[in-house]
Amino acid sequence: MSKINEKIKIWQKEKPGVPWFSFEYFPPKTDQGVQNLYERFDRMAPLDPMWIDVTWGAGGTTADKTLEICIHALKYHGLNVMMHLTCTNMPKEKLKEALDICKENGICNILALRGDPPGHLEAGAASQGFKQCEGGFAYATDLVKYIRQEFGDYFCIAVAGYPEGHLECTCFDDDMKHLKEKVDAGADLIVTQLFYDNPSFLGYVERCKAMGITIPILPGIMPIQSYAGFNKMTTLCQTKVPPGMLERLDAVKEDAEKVKDVGVQIAIEQCKDLMQNGTPGLHFYTLNLESSVMRIVEGLGLTPDSRDLPWKQSADQKRKVEDVRPIFWANRPGSYVRRTSTWNDFPNGRFGEFGSLRCAYGDFGFVSFAKDPADKAAETRRKMWGECPTTPSDVCKVFASFIKNDVQKLPWCTDAPAKETNFIAKQLIRLNELGLMTINSQPRVNAALSTDPLVGWGPAGGFVYQKAYLEFFCTKEMLDKIKEGIGKTSTCSYMAVNKKGRKMGNVNSSCANAVTWGVFPSAEIRQPTVVDFNSFMAWKDEAFSLWGEWSSIYAEGTESRKLIESVSDTYYLVNIVDDNFVSGDLLNNVIGWASASLESMSGVARKPSKDPTCVPEYSRVACHH
């Protein structure tokens, strides 16, 4: 993990004039909410924020959960983390304990705050205000001094700034004086309170410069998520609302979606103005919501142009050399990192040379809802996956709807299909219609530019390659027909296993098959994604257990629950790799084999598809380039 102040210096040297951005989250109240937040991390991490930070509840009320989420974000989601820490109700011993835990887990960024008393917003005018804890600190300046005294330069320390003045400060000049004291005590950067009036922020920055404050100042941007929420927040914080903004919102206040749309546009306009006036970065208060913030980042043109690898690397220092992973966890990267978190070494260069650690996967790193799902969570999942499915065809329709983006997620896929899936979406939908339940795939790619916006990765000037890959659940009867088809080609390898562990396949269990690789200037060939037997067997247990997340949303003894449990108990998990990355046609071949299987079972010959869009994936990729 990097210290943010050092990361900023490197960024400004390598990308002068290019703004960065960061996201703030708060600890959810429920375990289900925390699990949803972890999934949100996976969806937002590809935007490559400079860091994320997690708030510390008023009075330290969320201390344990804040620490847990910060550690989780760092170790399992590849995110650089900053943890909030407040003085409220926190004696020195508790502060020291929290900072020690951060250091032990590699967290080296702290946002030091005085904090607010519990219930300060609800109490309103009746609040007794902040009270210093016995053995604690009265001001953020004292906390900054304490951190520097106890930990030296280990931590990058951020502090809060108030462009429109702190609510409790009677004089703006005094407020600026307090800021200067925090900076002089050892702060490395400033993150401001939310605001909508840019002249107030820009004037604030100029005053800081005049006082000799030279550290980065990040504006706090809060996207407008609802009309009522906007009015409440600006009233509580006494935030200035620029002329015209309220009128734009008043015009659409009866339509929640239009309010969000206007809010996104207002934020884009605000951020563009800030960037044009030299603001080095942007800090977004997400309110644990992703859609608006992601739209704003995309609207500003700040999404990353390229990826270092096809998967998001961890910010955990001990994994910095890791550059190879099995493909099976492509849609559940957090689980893979959790299951390998006890490893002392990580594959670098070649997975096949990694030795016995390939077998040393930990227990499943996911929250199972099979035991006692919350009613609300179960209701949400039934809306996605079906109120009362009664046939395997009903289940297959859910998988097809996921490919169409009509279903938000599946137990095996916590995010929407990757953009490259568009190349093979027609075939995947057809496979699900034929009875294969697809959970992972990639099209074949032959020498695409490393800067390609959909399949590219690595430094510019390189070329990337992929073998076609397909992973799915299917019946034994369907698998037999697919095996027969594979037997007629010399380019396809497969592995299959059921819940009880019965295995089939035509691969050498001691070999790893590279399914993604790249060739770059003045560098060795890199192969960041592989398929190997031992990892597949570890993934198999997790993949079958995830059916429990689906079955558990139906009551015991119902036909729907029996159906899902039957699929889990009787179907096979299968993966197929086509080594012919030049002219292979894996998905259409599998469609043919699956169709033949249905024909043999029904005794009725099916007419071949005349859909002109159902073409080999390589043709679709070639058209793109």
Q: Give the integer Cα–Cα distance in Å for 164 and 555.
A: 54
Let me know if 206 is a catalytic residue. Answer: no
Q: Give the integer Cα–Cα distance in Å for 222 and 230.
A: 9
Single out the residue of 148, 54, 44 nearest to residue 95, CA to CA: 148
Give ∠ CA 84-86-87 in degrees, rounded to 5: 165
* Helix or strand holding residue 134 (H, E): none
Contact 253, 245 (CB under 8 A): no
Q: Give the integer Cα–Cα distance in Å for 555 and 302.
A: 46
Q: Give the integer Cα–Cα distance in Å for 225 and 28.
A: 18
Active-site residue, from 6, 14, 24, 471: 24
CA 298 vs CA 47, 205, 288, 348: distances in Å: 9, 26, 18, 33
Q: Give the integer Cα–Cα distance in Å for 104 and 79.
A: 17
Name the phi and psi angles at 67, rounded to 5: -60, -45
Most distant CA pair in the chain, distance:
86
Q: Give the integer Cα–Cα distance in Å for 614 and 601.
A: 24
Q: Give the integer Cα–Cα distance in Å for 142 and 114.
A: 9
Residue 566's SS3 state is helix
Contact 400, 415 (CB under 8 A): no
CA 312 vs CA 1, 27, 335, 423: distances in Å: 14, 23, 13, 22
Quickly list DSSP for 444-487: -EEEEETT-TTT--SSTT-EEEE-EEEEEEE-HHHHHHHHHHHT
Q: Give the integer Cα–Cα distance in Å for 285 and 267.
A: 12
Single out the residue of 365, 606, 359, 585 nearest to residue 491, CA to CA: 585
**Residue numbers annotated as active site:** 24
